[in-house]
Chains A and B, each alone.
Chain A
Amino acid sequence: MRNLFVRESGNYKTSYSDDMKLFGTTGAKVKALLIVLIVLALPLLVSNYWIGLLTLCAIASVGAIGLNILTGLTGQISIGVGAFLGVGGYTSAILTSTYGLSFWIALPIAGIVTALIGGLFGIPSLRLKGLYLAIATLAAQVIILFVISRWDSVTGGTAGMVLNRPSIGEFSLSSNTGYYYLCAIILLLTILYATNLIRTRTGRAFLAVRDRDIAAQIMGINLFQYKVMAFAISSFFVGIAGALLAHYTMIVSPELYSFHVSIEYLAMILIGGLGSIFGSILGAIFITLLPVSLSSIIDVLAAFAPDLYQLLSAFKDFVFGAVIILFLIFEPGGLAHIWLNMKKYFRLWPFSY
């Protein structure tokens, strides 16, 4: 019988365009279609609580893909993602709540504003690398959050702002299922854009910058342009994720975008796999569900020791740190790499050498 996991028997590609095809085989097309169908059918199968979690995963995936374009593809570290999420969220909040604009206009504007601010803070990346860039983005995080929490007249200060769920004409997306579909579709579009980005001249330039920026410049890549572009594109998606998140939680306030959020997003792409879009999604799901599953573990244990609830947040921090360290030491390639290994194993099975 034909092995179900083997979709091609060799490499028969004879041209570059063949090699670069998104869906090279019929199998790949079917797989992609299946995934889309599953994503769209999921709300019918699971409870409302899980739809909420899935929405959060989808939103985090959009942000993680954005960050991965910057850190994974272009090699520029950013630990200011939290603040950029905030910029997206606040832009959308101000536009929809204060100025009464439609969500469908506010969402892209939120992305564009975040892209502009991200590009602005990306300018230092031309001169700074590694540690220094990390600290510059950390400074961006602190400064942006300060501006947000002090600019009372526009942002509502530390109290934050309240938002509404969007609607299409008469049809409101206020239910969890409706909002899930919105986020899922945006996630699919993001995936499509990001996979295509890697296949273009821009994407290859990003990779060249990551691998050796001096060599890239010698080969005619305008470093300034591409680094700022990477910051802008990445921030665009982070801003979109921020706006989606804001309309999901229906509130924005400065403490929702703290340094801890930046770390979570960085953890997503590291645990998922640097430079891998599929990995970003896996990482986003992992990090989003980690505290949820820890809470349920604590729920079970609390039957024996009621004091445990007080330890919950500390315990989450502890496990979060441990998971990051363990992944870095034992599987630097992240979940995406584990997935590849599993695929390889089944592909070669039963002769796994």
Chain B
Amino acid sequence: MTFFLQMLVTGVVVGSIYGLVALGFVLIYRASGALNLANGEFVIIGPYICLILMTAYKIPFIYALLITLIFSAVLGLVVERLVIRPIQNAPVVSVIMATIGLSSLLGGAVHMIWGHQTRTFPPVFPQTPINIAGVIISPVYLWSFIVVVLLLVIFSLFFKFSKMGIAMRAVADDRQAALSMGMSVKYVYAATWTIAAVVAAVGGVLLGNINGLSPTMSAIGLTVLPVVILGGLDSVLGAIVGGFIIGVVQNLAGGYLDPLVGGGLKDVVPFIIVLLILMLKPHGLFGSRRIERV
């Protein structure tokens, strides 16, 4: 039973990170209808900056984090302006390919600048694990859980009440209508990419605290695709809930079934779920039903 609980809890905390990264996908999809496959690289660039600031320049974590977030925001803006805006009206395959190209470009740059070795983060959160009813959780996980829940609340409110959030929803709903109502679609897109990059950086810093940093970590960009599909590509709540579900299922499957097939099931189970979801309920658990059926 403790094994089950431990798997469950690990799943939930890993899931919270997935949810955070998936949020970046959802934000961009909501506003521009594009799938950002370079999200994984957005996730790792932030923590690298933060790490360098903390180790090389001895800046305290909070300020380093702030600078990182500002840097990520600028990165998001630049990417939107230089790569995404010129091909806004191109077919889907081009947009997907552009973000894939972007991921290759950024990944290569990270690799060239910071090398391929894994770096450990200086301890930011307390190291002593917390023991809750026999299940051991490290404080980093607890923090990531708190951050995710916080962000979920913030973004729900943001999309519901703030002017910017409503503008984003309007643009996602119908770009031409939004344009004719006098909204600046360019501005909305830029804001979306900025916010998404910042969210990705937050997720990255938490992830870096857990596993250390290496260029291969950008693979999380693909790992969370199942999360967004499960939750629905355009649902903030879906991203978070999907993150938890995928995290838990993945860990349970890994814990119980891996010995039977010889390992590696953790990475495949999410994609099997994706195929099932796409066949049965393509808009995901919380997504709006806008897929055009033929």
Interface of A with B (CB < 8 Å)? 71, 77, 79, 124, 126-132, 134-136, 138-140, 142-143, 146, 149-150, 152, 213-214, 217, 223, 259, 263, 266-267, 270, 274, 310-311, 313-325, 328-329, 332
Contact = CB atoms under 8 A, between A and B. Distances in A.
A332 B278 contact: no
Contact of B278 (A136, A263, A266): A136
Contacts of A316: 108
Interface of B: 35, 83, 86-87, 90, 92-94, 96-98, 100-109, 111-112, 115-116, 215, 222, 225-226, 229, 233, 261-262, 264-265, 267-268, 271-272, 274-275, 278-279, 282, 291-294
A190 B27 CA distance: 43
Given A126-B294, A314-B111, 6 more contacts: A127-B293, A266-B97, A321-B106, A328-B90, A329-B98, A332-B87
B106 A135 contact: no
B279 A320 contact: no
Given A124-B275, A128-B282, A132-B278, A317 B268 contact: no
Contacts of B272: 139, 143
A325 B291 contact: no
A135 to B, nearest CB: 6
A138 B105 contact: no
| Chain B binding surface, main DSSP class | helix
A321 B218 CA distance: 15
Contact of A135 (B83, B107, B267, B278): B278
Contact of A214 (B115, B275, B294): B294
26 contacts: A124-B275, A124-B279, A127-B291, A131-B35, A131-B92, A134-B92, A135-B278, A136-B278, A138-B271, A139-B226, A139-B275, A142-B267, A146-B268, A149-B264, A150-B264, A266-B93, A267-B101, A310-B115, A314-B107, A314-B116, A318-B111, A322-B105, A324-B97, A325-B83, A325-B105, A332-B90
Q: Which of A217, A270, A321 has the most CB atoms of chain B within a 10 A radius of its CB?
A: A321
Contacts of A263: 100, 104
Contact of B294 (A127, A134, A149): A127
A197 B236 CA distance: 45
Contacts of B291: 127-129, 132
